[in-house]
Chain A
Amino acid sequence: MLDLASLAAGLGAGLTIIGGALGIGKLATAAMEASGRQPEAAGAIRTSMIIAAALIEGISLFALVICFILAGK
């Protein structure tokens, strides 16, 4: 119960995932709408969407690494 580091790791991971999921959700929304408006561009939009999703996920994984370090303390 007194293990604040583990609590911090859990809370941190949860908060990070909220941000990451919201960001990727907005990204997917924009990509779907753009593909719907112009189906010929769907390939290029999909490529850009994958790249942007990996960048956003990279940021959320920075915070996850800090949570790993905290949970190991």
Chain B
Amino acid sequence: MSQIDSVSTSQIADSVAARSNSDASSDWIMHHVMDGNYLDFSPFGKIYLPHIELFGIDISITRHVVIMWLGAVLLGLVFFNVAKSYKKSLVPKGSANFWEVLIIFVRDEIAKPTIGKGYEGFLPYLLTAFFFILFGNFLGLIPFSATFTSNIAVTSVLAIFSFMVIQIGGIKNNGVFGYFKGLIPHGVPIFLLPIMLIVEILGLFTKPFALAIRLFANLTAGHIVIYALISLIFVMQSYLISPVSIGMALFIYSLEVLVALLQAYIFTMLSSLFIGMAVHQDH
């Protein structure tokens, strides 16, 4: 009995040791993808960020917070200058040309077809969401930087903003009772009404939840794939695999650029689709 016990414990110890060795790469991947208390300039050094607690809630400055401030400052600078360049004439000059292409794209391809009449009121929110997510996704592709849109807290807040805009838009246009009445489609038999009401109200919450998870998971997964391909070099413990591994990682990196654009577009398009469905409720 004691011999069987000793064999089994040593086997378990071996498996635990093997597991902790093989987990080194997944630890490295997770440690780079998730948020941290320091700005990581890996071979050169680290900048430690302050830890602040308010009433027991941890509001310390982390990597994602710093990059988010950088993104917000960039957004403010760029679009403040774009708006200023329109004061003199409606014809854009300089870099406003480029931003006008994107702004017209959001207005004509996203807001106008989905919201229809009254789209102008929602255009500031849609433009802000689009450019905030776009800048966030692209900032994450720069080396030594972090992707703040791959933080579930940030995407949840963006989804909560979309939720508030959808509900306020729908209630302002249809009245409180009219909005909830309009949630239920026409021609529904009367005994299905309670189920339909519950399903539609649940649907009000699942749609922004999906927005948050979609953006978070897309960006996190892309970065995890890049880190996993690079960690192949360390797992195989050979330099010969580095051309293959870095080549594949570069391919996925270019796919990430496409995903950055696409996810900003999808978030804005779906938000505006839900706004359109809430504001003009005639199916």
Contacts of A64 in B (CB 8 A): 217, 221
A58 interface residue, CB < 8 Å from B?
yes
Tally of chain B residues near chain A (CB < 8 A): 20
Q: Which residue of B lies closest to A61 (CB)?
A: B217
Interface positions of A from 30 to 73, Cβ below 8 Å from B: 47, 50-51, 54, 57-58, 61-62, 64-65, 68, 71-72
Contacts of B220 in A (CB 8 A): 68
Contacts of B62 in A (CB 8 A): none
B218 interface residue, CB < 8 Å from A?
yes
Residue in A2, A61, A71 whose beta carbon sits within 8 Å of that of B221 in the complex: A61
CB pair A65–B213 under 8 Å, yes or no, is: yes
A18 interface residue, CB < 8 Å from B?
no
Is the contact region of chain B dominated by helix, strand, or loop, or is it mixed? Answer: helix
Q: Which residue of A lies closest to B221 (CB)?
A: A64
Distance in angstroms between the alpha carbons of A57 and B217 in the assembled complex? 10
In the assembled complex, how far is the CB of residue B241 from the closest CB belonging to chain A, in whole angstroms?
21
Contacts of B210 in A (CB 8 A): 58, 62
Q: Which residue of B lies closest to A47 (CB)?
A: B109
Contacts of A62 in B (CB 8 A): 210, 213, 217
In the assembled complex, how far is the CB of residue B26 from the closest CB belonging to chain A, in whole angstroms?
7
Distance in angstroms between the alpha carbons of A47 and B266 in the assembled complex? 11
CB pair B266–A54 under 8 Å, yes or no, is: yes
CB pair A61–B213 under 8 Å, yes or no, is: yes
Q: Which residue of A lies closest to B15 (CB)?
A: A1
Contact with A along B250-275 (1 / 0, CB 8 A): 00000000000011011001100000
Distance in angstroms between the alpha carbons of A47 and B265 in the assembled complex? 11
B214 interface residue, CB < 8 Å from A?
yes
Contacts of A57 in B (CB 8 A): 214, 218
Q: Spell out B's residues near A (CB within 8 Å).
A: 12, 15, 19, 26, 30, 109, 210, 213-214, 216-218, 220-221, 262-263, 265-266, 269-270
Can you list 16 residue pairs at the A/B interface with Cβ under 8 Å? A2-B15, A3-B19, A47-B109, A50-B262, A50-B266, A51-B270, A54-B266, A57-B218, A58-B210, A58-B214, A58-B218, A61-B213, A61-B218, A61-B221, A62-B210, A65-B213
